[in-house]
């Protein structure tokens, strides 16, 4: 039972005995630095019900707690705030109960618990993954890990956008300018090779537009009449009609891209634990549901044969779900895919869609339609909406080849970590292989932490060099603290397995235990809010607290043996919490730095 729960129970009992009134909630907050106390009860909400002075009420409750609750050592009242000092024995007992629990804070899913499906990445097969995909993947993967740690079964999946005019553009450019190039013949990753042809198409298309404008066409006319776009449109028709040679080329080039994606995912340290969904398989799924919705009066058919849903009464607009020619739109596909996923995995009780904030309206409509169709799990759908990532150099454009490639960025981060580490000169005794592993661990840790410490909803500026700083709120700073703790543990040449009790705690020991104690609550809050930033910033606060402890308290040099053992155990527990927190962010921690 947490300290909050324990105190709530005792305060409810105190109010009942002292004032003969039952209260449901007790409001707590952190004690302000200038006052003595470990936790503060806010008295003001009780004043009206208890009809008294807040200071007098606080003193009465405080005296009751000191007399009847072992955990409470003393108290003081400031205005309407009851500052409660918790006994050292409570913190020592708590620490002894969790010090050997290497998964402290993680909850095992209960039997029969509904699962959550988390969708992320969801790339197009016409280009490699870029900086925006990195934020998407890191957010989706981390949220999935956090939800799992909070006690739920999690399915991690993606839907691959493998059909459409953009795919045909790459295919057509390869046919025209590729000269039979393959990943093997060029030495390029398949996704990069295909992406090059997407850029090549755009160059050719723009050239044709300019020529047509020079011949007297308007820009709109030129865009519609350019030979390249007409050929791409024809190729899309051929694909939809199953033309064998087009299907064969589509399969071949898509496989090149999939192989490239797999390599990027592996390097980034993200994965999926159920099979992928493909748009080429799912784009027709919603059509049967539309028919069902028509019969139920949820959808309505216009005179031209198109099918719509009127959401104006819900503050939205009319949304098309089937075109007049009977073809599906993206909304139709997403309706069908959601339903299919629950059919494929019947234990799914909710889904998280990791998609940029430009799709906010789309998901409002999707979730509302699924709710109107009568699916109870629709109430548990969540759009993990995130802001755009920019670099100091500005925005990126895929068609023009100005995107920041994900593989290139990861390589750059490793190089930056190497440069800074070598400048700091802390690599004595490392082999070249060990250095390579360390540079990658630091570089990727810097990238991931910098991305995840920002609230997902916020647009962010990513500065690679700033992220690899070994001081401040950065991944390397936290990794370095973890490595420092491991060094302490290696130097502790005495038995640290014994339990220590009856200690009088140093203020810094108590503060550190209090910070560790928060970890389970932080995991639950992060899962509920779909926010890795809560985990990241908690970890930074923990590390700051440890470094303050390290600077002010002797650990291995402590003469009192029990205190020395306790401080080593406490350091180990902090290290374990850092490692677990970073695991939820997909970040590795080095044993040495």
Note whether 524 and 147 are within 8 A (CB). no
What pLDDT does 393 receive?
66
Q: How far apart are CA 204 and CA 88, in angstroms?
A: 74
Q: What angle do CA 363, 329, 137 make, to 5 degrees?
A: 45
Q: What six digits make up the tokens of 485?
A: 């703790």
Nearest to 553 by CA among 505, 518, 514, 586: 505
Q: How far apart are CA 566 and CA 21, in angstroms?
A: 43
Residues comprising the chain, all counted: 593
* CATH 3.30.1360.70 domain position(s) in the chain: 3-86
If one counts every other C-beta atom within 10 angstroms of the C-beta of residue 400, the result is 11
* CATH 1.10.730.10 domain position(s) in the chain: 406-584
Note whether 178 and 170 are within 8 A (CB). no
Could you tell me which residues are beta bridge partners of residue 39? 84
Residues 47, 51, 55, 60, CA torsion sign: negative
Give the C-alpha distances (Å, rounded to integers) separating 422 from 60, 415, 433, 435, 514: 61, 11, 15, 10, 36
pTM for the model stands at 0.92
Helix (H) / strand (E) containing 75: strand 72-78
Tens of pLDDT, residue by residue over 214-237, are 999 999 999 999 999 999 999 999
Average pLDDT in the chain: 94
Tens of pLDDT, residue by residue over 556-569, are 999 999 999 999 99
Q: Are strands 307-310 and 300-301 parallel, antiparallel or unpaired?
A: antiparallel
The per-residue pLDDT string of the chain (593 residues; one tens digit each, 9 = 90 and over) reads 678 888 999 999 999 999 999 999 999 998 998 999 999 999 999 998 898 899 999 999 999 999 999 999 999 999 999 999 999 999 999 999 999 999 999 999 988 889 999 999 999 999 999 999 999 999 999 999 999 999 999 999 999 999 999 999 999 999 999 999 999 999 999 999 999 999 999 999 999 999 999 999 999 999 999 999 999 999 999 998 999 999 999 999 999 999 999 999 999 999 999 999 999 999 889 999 999 999 999 999 999 999 999 999 999 999 999 999 888 899 999 999 999 999 999 999 999 999 999 999 999 999 999 999 999 999 999 999 999 888 776 544 444 445 789 999 999 999 999 998 888 777 778 899 999 999 999 999 999 999 999 999 999 988 888 898 888 999 999 999 999 999 999 999 999 999 999 999 999 999 999 999 999 999 999 999 999 999 999 999 999 999 999 999 999 999 999 999 999 999 999 999 999 999 999 999 999 98
Place of tokens 């108290």: 75
Note whether 543 and 578 are within 8 A (CB). yes
Asked if the 3-86 domain carries CATH number 3.30.1360.70, the reply is yes
Class of domain 406-584: mainly alpha
What pLDDT does 10 receive?
96
Give the C-alpha distances (Å, rounded to integers) separating 15 from 20, 46, 50: 7, 9, 9
Q: What six digits make up the tokens of 203?
A: 């160059």
HEC per residue, 521-540? HHHHHHHHHCCHHHHHHHHH
Note whether 91 and 73 are within 8 A (CB). no
């Amino acid at each position: 039972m947490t300290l909050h729960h324990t105190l709530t129970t005792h305060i409810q009992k105190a109010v009942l005995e002292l004032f003969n009134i039952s209260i449901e909630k007790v409001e707590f907050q952190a004690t302000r630095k200038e006052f003595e106390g470990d936790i503060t009860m806010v008295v003001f909400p009780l004043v009206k019900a208890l009809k008294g002075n807040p200071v007098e009420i606080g003193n009465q409750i405080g005296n009751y707690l000191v007399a009847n609750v072992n955990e409470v050592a003393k108290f003081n009242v400031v205005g309407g705030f009851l500052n409660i000092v918790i006994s050292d024995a409570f913190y020592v007992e708590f620490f002894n109960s969790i010090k050997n629990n290497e998964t402290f804070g993680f909850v095992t899913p209960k039997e029969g618990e509904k699962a959550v499906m988390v969708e992320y990445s969801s790339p197009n097969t016409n280009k490699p993954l870029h900086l925006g995909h990195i934020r998407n993947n890191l957010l989706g993967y981390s949220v999935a890990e956090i939800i799992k740690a909070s006690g739920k079964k999690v399915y991690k999946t993606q839907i691959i956008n493998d059909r459409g005019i953009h795919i045909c553009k790459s295919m057509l450019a390869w046919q025209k300018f590729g000269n039979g190039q393959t990943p093997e013949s060029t030495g390029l990753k398949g996704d990069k090779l295909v992406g090059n042809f997407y850029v090549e198409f755009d160059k050719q298309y723009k050239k044709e537009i300019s020529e047509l404008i020079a011949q007297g066409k308007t820009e709109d006319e030129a865009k519609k009449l350019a030979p390249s776009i007409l050929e791409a449109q024809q190729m899309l028709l051929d694909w939809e009609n199953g033309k064998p040679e087009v299907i064969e080329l589509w399969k071949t080039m898509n496989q090149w891209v999939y192989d490239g994606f797999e390599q990027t995912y592996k390097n980034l340290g993200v994965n999926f634990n159920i099979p992928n969904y493909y748009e080429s398989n799912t784009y027709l799924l919603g059509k049967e549901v539309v028919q069902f919705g028509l019969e139920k009066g949820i959808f309505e058919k216009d005179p031209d044969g198109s099918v719509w849903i009127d959401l104006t009464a819900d503050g939205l607009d009319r949304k098309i779900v089937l075109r007049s020619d009977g073809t599906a739109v993206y909304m139709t596909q997403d309706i069908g895919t959601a339903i299919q996923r629950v059919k494929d995995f019947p234990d799914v009780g909710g889904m998280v869609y990791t998609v940029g904030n430009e799709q906010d309206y789309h998901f409002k409509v999707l979730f509302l339609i699924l709710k109107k169709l009568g699916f109870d799990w629709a109430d548990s759908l969540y759009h993990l909406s995130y802001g755009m990532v920019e670099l100091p150099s500005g925005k990126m454009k895929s068609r023009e080849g100005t995107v920041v490639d994900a593989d290139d960025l990861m390589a750059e981060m490793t190089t930056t970590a190497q440069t800074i580490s070598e400048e700091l000169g802390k690599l004595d005794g490392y082999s070249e292989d060990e250095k390579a592993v360390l540079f990658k661990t630091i570089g990727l840790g810097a990238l991931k932490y910098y991305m995840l410490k920002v609230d997902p909803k916020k647009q962010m500026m990513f500065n690679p060099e700033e992220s690899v700083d070994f001081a401040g709120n950065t991944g390397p700073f936290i990794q370095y603290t973890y490595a420092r703790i491991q060094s302490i543990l290696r130097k502790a040449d005495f038995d640290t397995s014994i339990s220590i009790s009856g200690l009088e705690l140093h203020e810094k020991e108590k503060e550190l235990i209090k910070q560790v104690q928060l970890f389970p609550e932080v995991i639950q809050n992060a899962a509920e809010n779909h926010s890795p930033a809560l985990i990241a910033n908690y970890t930074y606060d923990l590390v700051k607290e440890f470094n303050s402890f390290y600077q002010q308290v002797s650990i291995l040099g402590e003469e009192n043996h029990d205190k020395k053992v306790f401080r080593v155990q406490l350091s180990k527990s902090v290290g374990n919490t850092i490692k677990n927190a970073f695991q939820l962010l997909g970040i590795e921690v080095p044993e040495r730095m």
